[in-house]
C-alpha cells in the first residue's frame, strides 16, 4: 500500500532562518509528489509538485522541494522563513500502488517566530 | 474567481439528524472529491467523482452518500449523523483524476454532531 509520513508534528524556526519540513513516502513505481499549505480557517492551497525531471522543484512563495528517490523523501525547504509562512503543511503522494489516488500526510505545523 | 465554493461554513447537528453539504466549482473540472480532516490524521477521502455521472467510494465512505448533480456540483449527504462524524469537511476538484493533477479546495464546512 502507498503511504506518506511527516515525522514532525511541529517545526519551529526563527524569521530569516532556513526552514525544512520533512516528508517520506512509500509507493510502487514512480511517484507523483505534492506539497499543500493550509492557513487558518481556509482550504488547502497547492504549493508545488514533482512529476518527473529535475529533482529540485520550485513553487509558490519561495518554497522549493527536493525529490530524493534513494531516500524516498520529498522535503520542503525555504532559504529564509517569514512569519507569514506559519501554517499547516501537507505532503501528498500518488502512484500506481493506490490506483493513482492521492494520499495525504498528517500535516506539519510550522511556527515562524519574529 | 470563485473556484470551489462550499456551503454551509458551519453546522451543528443532533445525533440522528440529516443534512447535505453542497459544493460547486466553476473551473470546468471533471473530477471532484469530498474529504474529512481530523486532527493528526490529515485528509481522508470519503467519496470522489472522476467524471460527471460517476461516483466511487474512498477511504472512509461509511455513513455518507454523494450525488454528482452535474459537472459543477457534488453534494455530500449524512443520512443519520453520529458524533464520530464531527469533523471539517473539504470539497476539492481537479481537471482530471488524481495522480498528477493539482486539486483545488474549498474553504471547508465545520460540522459538530452532538
> What is residue B2's predicted lDDT score, i.e. its pLDDT?
77
Mean pLDDT value of segment A5-28? 96
Residue A100 has pLDDT above 80, yes or no: no
What is the distance in angstroms between the Cα of B104 and the nearest Cα belonging to chain A?
7
Tally C-beta pairs within 8 A across A and B. 54
Mean pLDDT value of segment B78-90? 96
A102 Cβ under 8 Å from any chain B Cβ = yes
C-alpha cell of residue A30: 514512480
Return the top range by mean pLDDT from A7-11, A28-32, B93-97.
Answer: A7-11
Residue A96 has pLDDT above 70, yes or no: no
Residue A72 has pLDDT above 90, yes or no: yes
The reply to whether residue A94 touches residue B107, judged by beta carbons under 8 angstroms, is no
Q: With bands split at pLDDT 50, 70 and 90, how would you rate the model's confidence at B1?
A: low
Report the percent of chain B where pLDDT is more than 90: 83
Mean pLDDT value of segment B1-7? 88
The pairing of beta strand B31-37 with beta strand B4-7: unpaired
Question: How far is the C-alpha of B53 from the C-alpha of B113, rounded, in Å?
Answer: 30
Sign, CA dihedral B58-B63-B68-B73, equals negative
> Which pairs with CB-CB distance under 8 Å and at least 24 residues apart come from B27-31?
B27/B3, B27/B93, B27/B95, B27/B104, B28/B71, B29/B71, B29/B93, B29/B94, B29/B95, B29/B104, B30/B71, B30/B94, B30/B95, B30/B96, B30/B97, B31/B93, B31/B94, B31/B95, B31/B96, B31/B97, B31/B98, B31/B101
C-alpha cell of residue A11: 517545526
- Closest-approach residue (CA) in chain B for A9: B40
* Each residue's pLDDT tens digit, B35-64: 999 988 889 999 999 888 899 999 999 999
Instruction: Pick the closest to residue A76 from A2, A13, A3 (CA basis).
Output: A13
Report the percent of chain A where pLDDT is more than 70: 96
> What is residue A1's predicted lDDT score, i.e. its pLDDT?
76
Amino acid at each position: 500500500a502507498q503511504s506518506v509520513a511527516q515525522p514532525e508534528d511541529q517545526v519551529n524556526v526563527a524569521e530569516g532562518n532556513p526552514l525544512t519540513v520533512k516528508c517520506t513516502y512509500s509507493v510502487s513505481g514512480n511517484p507523483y509528489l505534492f506539497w499543500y499549505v493550509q492557513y487558518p480557517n481556509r482550504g488547502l492551497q497547492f504549493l508545488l509538485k514533482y512529476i518527473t525531471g529535475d529533482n529540485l522543484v520550485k513553487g509558490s512563495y519561495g518554497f522549493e522541494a527536493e525529490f530524493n528517490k534513494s531516500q524516498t523523501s520529498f522535503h520542503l525547504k525555504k532559504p529564509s522563513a517569514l512569519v507569514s509562512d506559519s501554517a499547516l503543511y501537507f505532503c501528498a503522494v500518488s502512484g500506481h500502488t493506490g490506483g493513482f489516488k492521492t494520499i495525504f500526510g498528517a500535516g506539519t505545523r510550522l511556527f515562524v517566530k519574529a | 474567481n470563485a473556484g470551489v465554493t462550499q456551503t454551509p461554513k458551519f453546522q451543528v447537528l443532533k445525533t440522528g439528524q440529516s443534512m447535505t453539504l453542497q459544493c460547486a466549482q466553476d473551473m470546468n473540472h471533471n473530477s471532484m472529491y469530498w474529504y474529512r480532516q481530523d486532527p493528526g490524521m490529515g485528509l481522508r477521502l470519503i467519496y470522489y467523482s472522476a467524471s460527471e455521472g460517476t461516483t466511487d467510494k474512498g477511504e472512509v465512505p461509511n455513513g455518507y452518500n454523494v450525488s454528482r448533480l452535474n459537472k459543477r456540483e457534488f453534494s455530500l449527504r449524512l443520512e443519520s449523523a453520529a458524533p464520530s462524524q464531527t469533523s471539517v469537511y473539504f470539497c476539492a476538484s481537479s481537471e482530471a483524476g488524481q495522480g498528477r493533477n493539482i486539486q483545488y479546495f474549498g474553504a471547508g464546512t465545520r460540522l459538530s454532531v452532538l
